[in-house]
Structure 1
Amino acid sequence: MKKTTSIFWISIVISVLFVSWGVIAPDQLIKVMTSTQSFLLDRFGWFYQFSATFFLIFALCVAFSRFGKIKLGKPEDKPEFSTLTWFAMLFSAGMGIGLLFYGVSEPVSHYTTPPFGTSQSIESAKISLEHTYLHWGFHAWAIYAVVALALAYYKFRKNMPGLMSATLYPLIGDKAKGPIGHTVDIIAVFATVFGVAASLGLGASQINSGLHYLIGMPISFNTQLLIIAITTVLFIISAGTGVSKGIKYLSNTNMVLAVILFFSFLFLGPTQYLLELFSTTFGGYLQNLPSMGLRFAPFNPENNQWVKDWTIFYWAWWISWTPFVGTFIARVSKGRTVREFIMAVLIIPTLVCSLWFGVFGGTGIYFDLVQGLDVAKQSFETSLFFVYEHMPFGDVLSVISVILILTFFVTSADSATFVLGMQTTNGSLNPPFFVTLSWGLILAAIASVLLATGGLVGMQAAIIVSALPLAIILLFMSYALIKSFRQELSVNKEVKQHKKSA
């Protein structure tokens, strides 16, 4: 209890008020959130778009600059985890549930309702995968990489608290420890809470769909509430064991199950078609990356709304996740160099995500476009299991998927409770169990409120609203990081010159 801070208690009080609002006046809550979302998308959609592109350019420039050799830690520090375990941990925390929820459904949705062109055509099939890669690729991981880089640098190199406010110290000095810094940390806490709660809501709804497919469990809010309650107990237990035990073992389990599922999909489905489709569409993604990353359609309101509903939503989602994923990646990345860190976080997850969507989404498109099955009419929650019905060993794959969604649910949530604990205990690497327990219950409560009030619509609104102030903070963070890097290299240069002259 001694480690708790005013940030913890303020954040808890605001969270309880939000949950109470959702319970007492759910219609009013969703109305306020969706109207705010519409306002922000109309007035500030361009800001999210430019910010995401900026972070990608910034990450690449830093990686290939003279700053690339700086180590995230002391000169003698070695990486705490093996490269494979490190990758498994950052990947499981980063996008786990979304890969299962959107794996088939997002490419099929874009194929049915493309950002431009004719729907359910060969051209829309290509466009659908290219835009899915855009949403889950370099831009997303660049946003994560920049925040994680700043947090790891100040924590392990400068011995500062692992807080978002600490990354602004080069700009605002001791004000980072006062009201301004506290406000930054509270904004980060709530962006994390809403971003993760949305993912937990998606996970609960898809676990429900999987159990409906396997054992006929009814699809209902009460069922999803029960799923959230059970998994909450599991992830609180896991979070209580710390990063090196529960989270580490579950992350490795996730990777094994995900690899099994991926190769099963690849080799039980139309293998040659999928590999050729991935090669073509990934090449198109790389070729069109700059224009896709900055695209709007101001002369076509319908197409422009598509960009806001999908691309801008994703940039907001990844931004809202940065305090969580960034803190977690920073926590497990001690001893890496800046260049090694950025290139690993940018390239490997982007390739894995793109391959995943190429195989899963490509299979869904193949069944609809080539086989004539009506995949396009399935809901986001059920499209994956509909595809399983038409594949060999579909029941086995469904069981693996439900287990994988459950373990992704647990790792995302327990990583989030751990990070929220760090953020609200002055950056403690081992937050008290009371704190992680409190945040576990809050996450479950907010996920339930969002599911009850607006489902996916409510989750999108919460993410977009919470991400705007955080995006502004991240831009200042980027400037502060460059300022610190320059100061460090300048000092090192002076030390070397002094040694030579001596």
Structure 2
Amino acid sequence: MKQSKISHSYIVFNGSVLLSLSILILSIAMPEMTLKYLKAIQNFLSVKLSWFFTLSVTIIFFSVLFLCLSRFGEIKLGQDHTTPQYSNISWFAMLFSAGMGIGIMFFGVGEPLMHFLTPPNATPQSVEAAKEAMRITFFHWGFSAWAIYGIVAIILAFFAYRHDLPLTLRSAFYPILGDRIYGRFGDIIDIFAVVSTLFGVTTSLGYGVLQVNAGFNHLFNLPISLTTQIIFIAVITMFVMLSVISGLDKGVKILSNTNMAFALLFLAFILILGDTTELLKALVENTGNYISHFVGDTFKLYAYKKQNDAWLGGWTILYWTWWLSWSPFVGLFIAKISRGRTIREFVVGVLFVPAGFTFMWMSFFGNSAINFVLNGYEKLALMVNSDVSLALFIFLEKFQLSSVLSLVATIMIVLFFITSADSAAIVMDMLCLRGSDKKIKWQRVFWAVLIGVISAILLWLGGMAALQSMTMITALPLTLALLGSIYGLFKALNIDLHKKDSQNIIVASFARGGSKDWRGRLRGIIEHPNKDDAREFLNEIAFFAFSEVCDEFLKNGLTAKLNFEPEKNKIELNVRLGDEREFIYGVRLVRAEAPDYVSGAMYYRGEVYLSEGGQDYDVIGWSKEALINDMVEQYAKHVHFLYKVRQI
């Protein structure tokens, strides 16, 4: 696999801008015709290919679950010694804010009520309708949705952080295209990802600003009008620009943590001010109903109830295509912030934690709203059917401190929008930089401004519905490619397991140099060397051991290179093996905390690392012969690993 280059791809940038503007002009110039044909295609896919999307989402979910429960879960998204960059709290907050934060604000009240008022399989406004409404809502926003985001993120993070491919969508297609991802195929894939991200966020911002306007109208009697909404877009865009300039750690991270704090506070208010006991009972029962019906609901296509085809296409299939069309953006962003986590840790964090929070949110808001309607609050039912953007604020009128809650809700909506647009600008910037960590501020600002400008134009002139339909249609080619990438991921993970099995890191003194070396080895363990002692070992024993082995490789006709970097406290041997995976053996000095019985707070270890990362054993105190033996032993294991791979 080739190493990604840190460079700006003007092909991706220019191609994305030209294609986006062309689609925008078409949507504005011929809105009715464009919408007609796009809707026809979308309806065709929903009806004729509902089985395909259902089966695909099922495969994706069970693939992610298998990754978590199998031995693949032990593999890190990064080298073996890599540690996560973000704390669990910040990580949860960022992935949730980018993935679904704004959605649950918009639909937390609306969707459960809509299913309650017009259920597919129950009598409207009955107890059975209430149960079905919550189960369907959980199904649409639960494990399946997060599995779609998760599988894309795993594929991208695995190939980027463990195999040094670019952190862009093109790397997900490496199992299919191989090194062609570095050429025109890769550029086309990344252009597709940029345009999909741009229009996905644009349509969400365009529709979501309606809820912001509704909140300010409810609080301050601000008029609901196009002019007001465009002003809101302009203000939000300015905040997005400030956030993208600040960077991921100072922008999205802080915003996401703030979002999560507000969300937990808001959720607690609804729970405490509402019927607390009944809401907690509803949460437990809703979760149980969702889990017990999960397999049946997953495969439910109403093959024996044709009149529900329209409902299926307008709800479940619509959601599946929406999550799939958003997966390049959200998956890439989640991959960006997930380096250093094991696949099992990643799946638990991405699949179960956000889904659990979503279940609480939908239960506390949805069940409260249903109970209000059952007890005669018809105003809420009428509002859900006429203007769902106002439903949340009409709902909050039934609580004490309703004005405070409405203000908090409006602030949360604005913050979630800023976070989503900021995350999208960062992702589009990465795609144009071929996954590099290099930051081009003008480019991030450009994308942030373009998101705002397109949202305002489409809101003013129409065309939002056409772009939304087009975004859904992109789910078909993306799903086909994603299924192929999943197969390639499992194949690559299987190879990594063979590599892991070939590495036996048990350090036996006899095997590491024979009985003559045991005193030196024991002395190295007892003494806990300081920095000077560790550097002396690296400069003398390690350097001469590595030099001898490197010379021997060269004498035998192999391409070997010794990289000695004393300023970085490491030495590395690299052996090229043609088209097969190269052999890397290195030693680096690592500062560690000393045990209590040793004088001095810190000491240094000489840790061995291979191509897949640190191996967690210390070689300081070993003789030159022992170190050479270890290099030869690890090379033998590498050759055995290559043999096993060729058998796959």
Q: TM > 0.5 between the two?
A: yes
Q: Which amino acid aligns with 1:228?
A: I
Question: Partners of 1:174 and 1:482 in 2: how far apart?
Answer: 19
Residue 451 (structure 2) pairs with residue 443 (structure 1): yes
Which letter maps to 1:109?
M
C-alpha separation between the residues in 2 aligned to 1:449 and 1:314?
26
1:499 equivalent to 2:648? Answer: no
Q: In the aligned structure 1, how far is the partner of 2:504 from the partner of 2:398?
A: 67
Correspondence for 2:378 among 369, 373, 376: 373
Residues 467-487 of structure 1: per-residue CA shift (max 9 Å, x gap): 221111211221111111112
Aligned mate of 2:109, from 99, 104, 110: 104
What is the match of residue 277 of structure 2?
A: 272
- In structure 2, the partner of 1:91 is 96
Q: SS at 1:119's partner residue?
A: coil
Tell me which of 39, 46, 49 is aligned to 2:54: 49
* Aligned: 1:31 with 2:36: yes
1:384 aligns with 2:392: yes
Q: Is the 8 A contact 1:277 1:358 kept in 2?
A: yes
In 2, Cα distance between equivalents of 1:430 and 1:260: 36
2:77 aligns to what?
A: 72
Distance 2:321 2:425 in 1: 21
Q: Which of 460, 464, 484 does residue 476 from structure 1 map onto?
A: 484
Q: Give the corresponding residue for 2:314.
A: 309
- Per-residue Cα deviation, 1:364-421 (whole angstroms, up to 9, x for no partner): 1010013443322112101111111121111100000000000000001000110011
CA offsets per residue over residues 223-271 of structure 1, 9 Å max, x none? 2222112111111220121111111111111011111111111111122
2:334 corresponds to: 329
- Relative to 1, partners in 2 of residues 1:429 and 1:115: Cα closer, same or farther, differing over 3 Å? farther
Query: 1:23 aligns to what SS in structure 2?
Result: helix
Contact 2:173/2:485 (<8 A) preserved: yes
- For residues 158-307 of structure 1, the aligned pairs below 5 Å read 158-307=163-312
Measured in 1, the distance between the counterparts of 2:40 and 2:503 equals 56
Sort the Cα spacing of 1:477 and 1:27 in 2 relative to 1 into closer, same or farther, 3 A: same
- Specify the code of the residue in structure 1 equivalent to 2:633: K
| Partner AA of 2:100 in structure 1 | M
Distance 1:408 1:176 in 2: 34
The letter of the residue matching 2:150 is: A
Worse-matched range after superposition: 316-325 or 218-227: 218-227
Residues 1:449 and 1:308: Cα distance change in structure 2 (over 3 Å):
farther
- 8 Å CA contact 2:279, 2:367 repeated in 1: yes
Distance, in Å, in 2 between the alignment partners of 1:172 and 1:21 is: 32
Q: Are the equivalent residues in 1 in contact too, given 2:175–2:485 (CA < 8 A)? A: no
- 1:484 is aligned with what amino acid? A
2:35–2:463 contact (8 Å) kept in structure 1:
no
Distance 1:300 1:20 in 2: 41
Q: How many residues align?
A: 502
| CA apart distance, 1:449 | 4.9
The TM-score, its normalising length taken from structure 2, stands at 0.74
Cα–Cα, structure 1 residues 484 and 315, in superposed 2: closer, same or farther, change >3 Å?
same
In terms of mean alpha carbon deviation, does 483-492 or 261-270 score higher? 483-492
Query: Amino acid of the residue matched to residue 137 of structure 2?
Result: T
Structure 1 position 198, deviation (Å): 2.5
Measured in 1, the distance between the counterparts of 2:286 and 2:250 equals 39
Q: What code does the residue aligned with 1:345 have?
A: V
Match of 2:559 in 1: none
Tell me, yes or no, if the aligned pair for 1:72 and 1:335 is still in contact at 8 Å. yes
Report the alpha carbon displacement of residue 334 of structure 1 after superposing the two structures with TM: 1.1
Structure 2 residue matching 1:477: 3-state secondary structure: helix
Q: CA deviation at 1:309?
A: 0.6
Partner in structure 1 of residue 497 of structure 2 = 489
Give the secondary structure class of the aligned counterpart of 2:223: coil
CA drift of 1:24 comes to 2.6
- Mapped to 2, the partners of 1:34 and 1:222 lie a distance apart of 28
**For the structure 1 residues 456 and 268, does the alpha-carbon distance in structure 2 shift closer, same or farther, using more than 3 Å as the test?**
farther
CA distance in 2 between counterparts of 1:371 and 1:274 reads 19
| Residue 14 of structure 1 pairs with residue 148 of structure 2 | no
Where is the strand percentage greater, Structure 1 or Structure 2? 2
Q: Which amino acid aligns with 1:58?
A: S
Distance in 1 of aligned mates of 2:471 and 2:226 = 21
The alpha-carbon deviation at position 316 of structure 1 amounts to 1.1
Residue range with higher mean Cα deviation, 161-170 or 488-497: 488-497
Instruction: Give the aligned residue type for 2:393.
Output: F
CA contact (8 A) 1:93 1:415 kept: yes
Alpha-carbon distance in structure 1 between the residues aligned to 2:287 and 2:120:
17
Structure 1 or 2: larger helix share?
Answer: 1
Counterpart pick for 1:136 among 126, 135, 141: 141
- For residue 89 of structure 1, what is the amino acid of its counterpart? M
**Given that residues 242 and 430 in structure 1 are in contact (C-alpha distance below 8 angstroms), is that contact kept between their aligned partners in structure 2?**
no
CA gap of 1:83–1:20, structure 2 versus 1, over 3 A, is: same
Q: Report the secondary structure of 1:368's partner residue.
A: helix
Q: In the alignment, is the contact (CA less than 8 A) between 2:7 and 2:436 conserved in 1?
A: no
Conserved? CA contact 1:7–1:424, under 8 Å: yes
SS at the partner of 1:374? helix
CA distance in 2 between counterparts of 1:476 and 1:465 reads: 19
Work out whether 1:122 is the aligned partner of 2:127: yes
Taking only the aligned residue pairs, the percentage that are identical comes to 38
Distance 2:456 2:47 in 1: 28
Question: 1:106·1:132 contact (CA, 8 Å) conserved in 2?
Answer: yes
**2:8 maps to what in 1?**
3
- Which structure has more RCO (C-alpha within 8 Å, separation ≥ 6)? 1
Question: Match of 1:74, SS?
Answer: coil
Contact 2:43–2:313 (Cα < 8 Å) also in 1: no
Q: CA deviation at 1:219?
A: 1.8
Q: Bigger shift: 343-352 or 37-46? A: 37-46
Aligned equivalents of 1:459 and 1:383: distance in 2?
Answer: 25
Checking the alignment, whether the CA contact within 8 Å between 2:149 and 2:323 is kept in structure 1 is yes
Q: Which moved more, 1:162-171 or 1:132-141?
A: 162-171
Offset of 1:202 from its aligned partner?
2.9
1:319 and 2:324 equivalent? yes
Say if 1:430 and 1:369 are closer, same or farther in 2 by CA, change over 3 A: farther
- The answer for the alignment partner of 2:473 in structure 1 is 465
Q: In angstroms, what is the RMSD of aligned CA positions?
A: 2.0
In 2: Cα distance, 1:429 partner to 1:370 partner: 55
The higher radius of gyration belongs to 2
CA-CA distance at 1:10 after TM superposition: 0.4
Q: Give the TM-score, by structure 1 length.
A: 0.95
Q: Which moved more, 1:196-205 or 1:444-453?
A: 444-453
Kept in 2, the 8 Å contact 1:187–1:469? The answer is: no
> Aligned with 2:399: secondary structure?
coil
SS at match of 1:381: helix
CA distance in 1, matches of 2:200, 2:34: 17
Distance 2:438 2:231 in 1: 29
CA distance in 1, matches of 2:136, 2:145: 13
1:30 and 1:454 in contact (8 A); partners too: no
> What letter corresponds to residue 481 of structure 2 in structure 1?
I
Bigger shift: 132-141 or 169-178?
A: 169-178
Asked if 2 retains the 8 angstrom alpha-carbon contact of 1:209 and 1:381, the reply is yes
Give the drift of 1:83.
0.8
Residue 425 (1) aligns with residue 433 (2): yes
CA contact (8 A) 1:16 1:442 kept: no
Residues 31, 463 of structure 2: 8 Å contact kept:
no
1:264 counterpart SS class: helix
Deviation at 1:424, TM superposition (A): 1.8
